[in-house]
Amino acid sequence: MSFNQKFDQHGIWRREFALRLRLLAEWMKDHDLLDAAVEERLHRLELQVRSDKVMVAFVAEVSRGKSELINAIFFAGYGRRIMPASAGRTTMCPTELGYDADVPQCLRLLPIETRLQTQALMEWRMVPEKWTRVDLDVNDPAQLARALEKVAEVRHVNQEEARALGFWHDENPDDNPPVRADGLIEVPRWRHALINIAHPLLKQGLVILDTPGLNAIGAEPELTVSLIPQAHAAIFILAADTGVTKSDLAIWREHLITEGDGCESRLVVLNKIDTLWDALSTPEQVQMQIDRQVATTAEILGLPRSQVIPVSAQKGLVAKVTGDQALLQASRLPALELALAGGVMGQRQKILRAAVADGIRELKAEAERAMHIRRRDLAEQMIELRGLRGKNVSVIHHMRSRIEQERAEFDTSGAKIHAIRSVHLKLLREVFNLLGTPTLRAELAELTHALKQPGIKLGVKKAYGQTFSRLRESLQKSRILGGEIQSMLTASFRQLNAEFSFSLQAPKEPDFTRYERDLESIQRSHLQYLGLGNMLKLSQPEFCDRLVRALATRLRVVYESALSEVELWNKSASSQLDVQLRERRRNFSRRLEAIERIREAASGLNERIAEIAAQENVLNELDAKLAELTSHLVGELSLRFFPADETDATVRAALTEAA
């Protein structure tokens, strides 16, 4: 199965699974099992499945055939090139291809002059009026291709402006672009491009990141420390005829390989193998040359040979457009698509399905807890009513008085529950303060001050290390506080269970370990960027400012995710109290109502006992149905989700309507 087919299958799976989650939510709501925490958990699961993105970054030095490879894998169905891929330099600015239904199909271009300001790329995304917009017609491949040629546009500036924009460095003359006869220097016209089109794969969550060469990558810190590290896969393209050049190796070491990270999500494409096809050489001799280049490349980059894949993107595109299967096999493009499908998509599906399965198990436990409360209350009523058989009016009156006394005693639990919630919220506020934006901003203030010092910043790595030590400390404090809250909840719930016959259970506390891992990953990517090669750039205040803003943007995502998990944890604990208080009050009302009916009519006792027995049967059916629905979700998680029962017709109808 090719990457396109695998991704298409993944998209179908996500849509159908999200629909099944919505149907589960509706079923639980119909049967009064959807408290605030369960509803929030279901909403998050559905959102996670529907909005899951897979980013594939294509990284290469200029003239390696990167844009042609993107055309061959993703856009051959248009019958022509869509991304500009002519001879020489084409993609001059980082380009993201994706789909957002809330945004018109268009190309948005951020002017290169925005580099002279301090805002990070993520901040510029929030200011759409600063971008140049070009509307796109996906039904007109020629218009689409013409519009996308704008990503290759350039400007010619003097040396001073080129230096300010980050494309000229007096200290590294060998890396500077050539100067024209009129003294001007060619630089990209645009800083960043966003392409929003309703391509089938993009609609299903694929995001393609097309990056320019080394000079442009190095001048944009956010690209190196944020976008590329967060890609689920990075495709590094080399030329088969040249192998690994000095600039190729610089990109690999400085931007793609981070110390401590594995290379499993990195694929190396040895492109342009058609340049080795030689009429004077036998097929065996050509194959020997390709094998030698693959082995050499793998050795230099420190990869297994299986992660170096030789292809001809140009021949693969031609073969797909013309339907030439022999040429397609000779281009070896299918082998790359298989590697992408098995590696990137397989791993992504595994992670997503594991996360969804955990969420479903947790919401099932919460729903079962609510049913357990109802079942226990019914059992108590049944014992109580059976004990009234053959009793006189005075005994029934005494029973009513006892229930009213129990209700009065239960009402006193409100004070204890209020006290528990007060302590709980006080500790939670401390966690919120530790993970809040003001705290994060304060932690970064010292690093910002260090980076703003004039001249060469030899102590910048130390400043980064101290900053991340403080950030880790705040997460560790949050984890300790989380443990204290968990212990307090466990003890308090145990006490309430003993005194008021509740069935409270402290929800699973947030796992801060993964956020600490995220911090380590961010720190590694930044420390790698602070090598000697970028030391001179760090002497520029505006460059340092952009670097810190890029760091702040990525850290904010980590801290907001941690806060979101803490909020869900809090909601799970609070909703348990709310649900059990509500159920207990309903139980008292039902018991008093039953006693009143029994007192007024002799037949009322047997009728009420029969009603409770029927309610117990309904609960058993609900329990079985909940287990059935969730087991299908947690089970195979294949494309065939729905059991062959009465739900089939409903689900199929809903799927048809959604389509």
Q: How many Å apart are CA 603 and CA 225, to the nearest integer?
A: 77
484-531 pLDDT, tens digit each? 888 888 888 888 888 777 778 888 888 888 888 888 888 887 777 776
Residue 280 exposed, middle or buried by CB count within 10 Å (0-12, 13-18, 19+): exposed
Write the DSSP string, 371-422: HHHHHHHHHHHHHHHHTTTT--HHHHHHHHHHHHHHHHHHHTHHHHHHHHHH
Tokens of 617: 């049967």
pLDDT band, residue 641 (cuts 50/70/90): very low
If DSSP codes are grouped into helix, strand and coil, which group holds residue 117? Answer: coil
- Half-sphere exposure (Cβ direction) of 420: Cα atoms closer than 13 Å: 22
152-188 pLDDT, tens digit each? 888 899 988 888 887 887 777 777 778 888 889 888 8
Tokens of 477: 């404090």
Distance (Å) of CA 469 to CA 168, 456, 464, 548: 35, 23, 8, 16
Tokens of 510: 């947030």
DSSP 8-class letter at 641: -
Q: Which residue has the tokens 């807890």?
A: 369
Q: Please count the helices (runs of H) and the strands (runs of E) in the chain.
A: 24, 11
Length of the chain: 659
User: What's the maximum distance between 2 C-alpha atoms anywhere in the chain?
Assistant: 114
Of 94-98, 133-137, 406-410, 468-472, least confident by mean pLDDT is: 406-410
pLDDT at 531: 62
Bridge-partner residues for 221, per DSSP? none
- Domains of the chain (ranges; CATH) run 38-46+366-658 (no CATH), 53-153+189-331 (3.40.50.300)
223-282 pLDDT, tens digit each? 767 778 778 888 899 999 888 988 888 888 877 776 555 566 788 999 999 988 887 788
Tokens of 239: 């030329």
If DSSP codes are grouped into helix, strand and coil, which group holds residue 268? Answer: strand
Q: How many Å apart are CA 308 and CA 267, to the nearest integer?
A: 6
Q: How many Å apart are CA 301 and CA 293, to the nearest integer?
A: 12
The kind and range of the H/E element at 210 are: strand 206-210
pLDDT band, residue 292 (cuts 50/70/90): very high
Select the more confidently predicted residue: 456 or 575. 575
50-71 pLDDT, tens digit each? 777 888 889 888 888 888 998 8
Share of the chain above pLDDT 70, in %: 85
Give the list of residues 6+ apart from residue 450 with CB closer than 8 angstroms, or none.
Answer: 457, 459, 460, 463
Give the list of residues 6+ apart from residue 299 with CB closer than 8 angstroms, or none.
Answer: none
Tokens of 353: 């399905």
If DSSP codes are grouped into helix, strand and coil, which group holds residue 256? Answer: helix
Q: How many Å apart are CA 656 and CA 659, to the nearest integer?
A: 5
Tokens of 118: 């301090």
